[in-house]
Structure 1
């Protein structure tokens, strides 16, 4: 069993402005209330590992499972037997802005209970991300 959640918003910000925030983990706490800090052990590219400190606070291992520069990244957090995958996708829209989609899957024991807690702040994080990108 697992949990899935997806949210899409439209913004006047170009894809490059969204990507600039996503690809700079030190900016994540500014727009994602669930994130206290992120330390990567290498560049922002596929396969890079690190540690994410979440509100609580507690630290969890993170790996960049997929990175398509300027377009998409997937970070994967492991919490015991739970695996949380957060897929971030930005696509240019005809008006010069973009559509931003964040999809979360949680797999493992208790995923149905943990999932709603993991995604509770997603609308706030996405709104703050877009707001930051629009004012950049």
Structure 2
């Protein structure tokens, strides 16, 4: 597995606000600059599937691999690889900490990292900051 990027942020918004933003995939393009659109095939639950259209790229299928009180992991299926977005969340004393790790695994991970790794690495921090703003009710 190759880790492409990680980012962490804190917020005064409750964890439920982040899960609401993640669940409302039709609005992801409002806070995720490299996403044109996202469609979820059903409710936001573990095992749910959908399609994502990155800006400048082809549509890609994904699955909500894990979803619980502390994390949301979505995996995009690429030819010969899996692109993993691992969102961890915790709240302590009124402060919510959110972290995102983007990684890739599979026999062609080296190729996909070369194709899109740099752009993904650049977008993780601004996308997380925009998510925090959206969860706090102030779109950047």
* Fold equivalence (TM over 0.5): yes
Q: TM-score, normalised by structure 1?
A: 0.88
Query: How many Å apart are 1:112 and its aligned residue?
Result: 4.0
* Unaligned ranges ≥5, structure 2: none
Which secondary structure state, in structure 2, belongs to the residue aligned with residue 109 of structure 1? helix
Matched, 1:128 2:130: yes
Query: How many Å apart are 1:93 and its aligned residue?
Result: 2.3
Determine the structure 1 residue equivalent to 2:10: 10
User: Once superposed, what is the RMSD of the aligned Cα atoms?
Assistant: 1.7
Note if contact 2:89-2:98 (Cα within 8 Å) is conserved in structure 1: yes
**Structure-2 separation of matches of 1:4 and 1:125:** 15
Q: TM-score, normalised by structure 2?
A: 0.86
**Structure-1 separation of matches of 2:124 and 2:86:** 12
* Unaligned ranges ≥5, structure 1: none
1:57-136, aligned counterparts within 5 Å? 57-68=57-68, 70-94=69-93, 96-107=94-105, 108-113=109-114, 114-135=116-137
**Structure-1 separation of matches of 2:39 and 2:137:** 25
Runs of at least 4 residues off by over 6 Å: none
